[in-house]
Amino acid sequence: MDFKFSNRVPKQNNDVVGEILKVAGDPKIISFAGGLPAPELFPVNEMKKASDKVFEKHGQDALQYTASIGNSKLRQLVAKRMDSHKHINCKSSNICITTGSEQSIDLISKMMINQGDVVLVEKPTYLCALDVFRSYGAKIVGVDMDENGMKADSLETALQNYPNVKLIYTIPNFQNPTGRTMPTNRRKEVADLASKYDVMVMEDDPYGEIRYSGKSIDPIKHFDKDGHVIYMSTFSKILAPGMRLGWIIADEKFVNMFVVMKQSADLHSDNLSQYIVAQYMEDNNLDLHIQKIRDAYHRRASMMLKEIDKQFPRGVKHSNPEGGMFIWVEVPGNINTMELFKNCVKHNVAFVPGEPFYPDEIIPGTFRLNFSNMKDDQIHEGIHRMADAISEMMEK
Ligand code: PMP
């Protein structure tokens, strides 16, 4: 049957990554393709205690509808944390709780993008964000990156070349997919360019707290003088993605309109989850919990990098993330990483090829590896299998 879908629905179902994850789901395969946090680090007992307490103290309220902007206790706790940990000067009236950053990206796009408006993104970037921008009819333009993230001079050139830019989307910390981080001076420049060209910045920071080496860097929002930056983060990587809770921080006027849009999307984010996370934060030291995640991911990343350096053929380059969950690899000689993927599957190992992360011009020979959800022996054996598959392709 012809369903007469709207223009927002992709013309053909080209869910490349879905297909990759399906193949990689075979239990024989060691898969570096996923992007999941390590489940053994979820604070299950503490969450259970928080949940029991919520049912005892606030059972009826927690099961009732709530305000679209979110639970007031949770918003206060987030505001306090963002001030102390991120140096973002904000009050709870600047915060709206969302159903994860994915919803933040969707609602901000819905608010800002008219058909044909330009969204500037890092090249490569988070592919689910690309799907959202496409669904609202945006023209997506990739901005060059280097080891330090989006290049400010390329950003300014794009702002000059495209007068109808509506949004700049950036992931400044341990970017998905590259693991790269933008230094302070660039963050200031991005904030200044947003003001100069009167364009909004969507600062997506799901991984910022998972820094396991180097010094923490203040977000772009810290340098925002006039409300051009919307900061967004999430409990998905520091607590549990299944709670589906994130937040945005923006100018109060922006938040008020965001709340109107959220109301028509889902009325509010899960009220019970919000109560439980607020209770968890009151009764536990979230910093100590995050430190456990950092320690585990640090060990896994270091092991994967060591194995890559030892086992991958000469000429292969990789990023050196100081946090987050991903390593980006570049193989020489224009190897098609979709073909490499097929060869790796024959060797019972998988990754995500770089192609789908590129908004426009694709740079060949790149791919993403996840380490957060991998055991030591899987890292060792999986990289070994990949090394064989890459060598075979390079010899061809
Ligand atoms: N932004 C980026 C860059 C991500 O990597 C992810 C999750 N993988 C999200 C947003 C969505 O996160 P959430 O679980 O908060 O919806």
- Pocket residues: Cβ below 6 A from ligand 1: 35, 100-102, 126, 171, 176, 204, 206, 234, 236, 241, 246
- Residue 169: predicted pLDDT: 98
- Residue 15: predicted pLDDT: 75
Task: Kindly report, residue by residue over 4-35, the tens digit of the pLDDT.
Answer: 999 888 877 677 778 888 887 888 999 999 99
The preferred substitution site among 104, 128, 178 for testing ligand 1, maximizing ligand atoms within 8 Å of CB, is: 128
**pLDDT in 10s for each residue of the chain, 396 residues:** 888 999 888 877 677 778 888 887 888 999 999 999 999 999 999 999 999 999 999 999 999 999 999 999 999 999 999 999 999 999 999 999 999 999 999 999 999 999 999 999 999 999 999 999 999 999 999 999 999 999 999 999 999 999 999 999 999 999 999 999 999 999 999 999 999 999 999 999 999 999 999 999 999 999 999 999 999 999 999 999 999 999 999 999 999 999 999 999 999 999 999 999 999 999 999 999 999 999 999 999 999 999 999 999 999 999 999 999 999 999 987 789 999 999 999 999 999 999 999 998 888 899 999 999 999 999 999 999 999 999 998 876
The preferred substitution site among 36, 102, 205 for testing ligand 1, maximizing ligand atoms within 8 Å of CB, is: 102
- Residue 362: predicted pLDDT: 84
CA–centroid distance, 205 to ligand 1, in Å, is 8
Task: Kindly report, residue by residue over 272-289, the tens digit of the pLDDT.
Answer: 999 999 999 999 999 999
CA–centroid distance, 352 to ligand 1, in Å, is 16
In contact, 24 and 360? CB cutoff 8 Å: no
- Residue 82: predicted pLDDT: 98
| Ligand 1, atom 5: closest residue by C-alpha | 176
CA–centroid distance, 346 to ligand 1, in Å, is 30
